[in-house]
Structure 1
Amino acid sequence: MADRTRTRLLNALKSAGPQTAADLATGLKVTTVAVRQHLEGLHRDGLVDFEDLKGSVGRPKRVWALTRAGHRQFPDNHANLVLGLLNGLGDIFGAEGLDKLIAHREEQSRTAYMAAVAGAEDLPGRLDVLAHLRNQEGYMAELVADESGYLLIENHCSICAAATACQGFCRSELKLFKDVLGSEVSVERTEHQLSGDRRCVYRIEPHA
């Protein structure tokens, strides 16, 4: 049970970002005392850290977040193998070879995604399918509606190593989303993990 609670805490901090012990306890439906005990253990292991934020009144609020080591607890699709293959491909075939590989992957994904969204009747339906597909691929995706459209939030990058080595993968995924969702919507990446943000976020808005 203890290991399961630790895993749930790591997942909660990964998917929702920095939180207080009380917020985590509410989300996980356990006591704040139990959460604090587990956070202290994770802190000793170097997986989480905290910051005491001063409010306008009262005591500072302690906010917990994952460390770099904590983020590395999540899978990255065999990073070392991927990096080795990409470096080898670049050495043998150059930038043109990498571009062809990215284009091939994009086309495969486009075919699969377009088939999956074919039965969706409207934009919310297509977005639900897209978020589901991205979740299956390990991106910890969630969809949030707001007053002007939607946010597709990806709390984990399951191809982070490949994208770090070649940011053409990120450009390809943005183009893929635009193709799958159709010309009647705009898609803009507003947060980017490789640019230093905690997650990748795509703002999706219907054209007026």
Structure 2
Amino acid sequence: MKHRGSLRVLHALKSAGPQTAEALGRKLGMTAVGARQHLARLLEEELVEAVDQSEGVGRPKRIWSLTEAGHARFPDNHAGLTLELITAIRKTGGEAMLDSVIGAREKAALSTYRRALDGAASLKEKVKRLARIRSEEGYMATTAPGGEGVLLLIENHCPICVAAKACQGFCRSELALFREALGRDVSVERDEHIVAGARRCVYRISAR
């Protein structure tokens, strides 16, 4: 796939989830016809799929989403090497050694995150900064209001998904990392989880 417009459509479906051609067109500054042309090209490559959803009176809406092959276009960083290292650490020192390695990774990340969040005037600003860090790390992170004082940290991609599936300690560590970085007066809970089959990871963040 070499067409830049098709790449933009693929990225929009990854970052915002299933949507119509009309919605894609508005988001990307192109016509619905143009969006459909790109979707047709992606469909030929088996990177997208569509379902028709009826909403009462009128024609059903065609909702487009990524296939497994489409999601695979956003690769897991160094997946093969990471999996080999996890296996080697387990064979050498068991789960205890693996937990120690994950803990050291968490400690190093915590130092970086705390420096980045230092001086933020509000929890909202902290979460925005956290999303920016996570995006730089490949998580395609955004923020959104969650209602009643809740902020959502949304990660549309997991660049360590293979490692996380092989070792749940990575996911536990990341949740602990967010809690430590944001402070003890902040509640952080994970509502959606890519490793559990969700399209994205979503964290609910609020002041205690």
Partner in structure 2 of residue 42 of structure 1: 42
Aligned letter for 2:201? C
Cα deviation, residue 146, structure 1: 3.4
The yes-or-no answer on 1:86 pairing with 2:90 is no
Residue ranges of structure 1 left out of the alignment (5+ in a row): none
Partner SS for 2:147: coil
Partner in structure 2 of residue 23 of structure 1: 23
Partner in structure 2 of residue 158 of structure 1: 159
Question: How far does the alpha carbon of each residue in 1:97-148 deviate from its partner, in whole angstroms, 9 at most, with x for none?
Answer: 1100110000000011111111212211211211110010000000112322
Partner in structure 2 of residue 76 of structure 1: 76
Question: How far does the alpha carbon of each residue in 1:51-85 deviate from its partner, in whole angstroms, 9 at most, with x for none?
Answer: 01111011111000000000000121111111111
Question: How far does the alpha carbon of each residue in 1:150-200 deviate from its partner, in whole angstroms, 9 at most, with x for none?
Answer: 000000001111101101000000011011111111100000001110000
Q: Which is worse superposed, 139-148 or 154-163?
A: 139-148
Partner SS for 1:146: strand
- Equivalent-residue separation in structure 2 for 1:78 and 1:146 (angstroms): 33
Give the CA RMSD over aligned residues: 1.0
- Equivalent-residue separation in structure 1 for 2:19 and 2:151 (angstroms): 23
The yes-or-no answer on 1:170 pairing with 2:171 is yes
Partner in structure 2 of residue 63 of structure 1: 63
TM-score under structure 1 length normalisation: 0.96
Residue ranges of structure 2 left out of the alignment (5+ in a row): none
Paired positions, count: 206
Q: Percent identity?
A: 51
Q: Which is worse superposed, 117-126 or 128-137?
A: 117-126
Partner SS for 1:57: coil
Partner in structure 2 of residue 107 of structure 1: 107
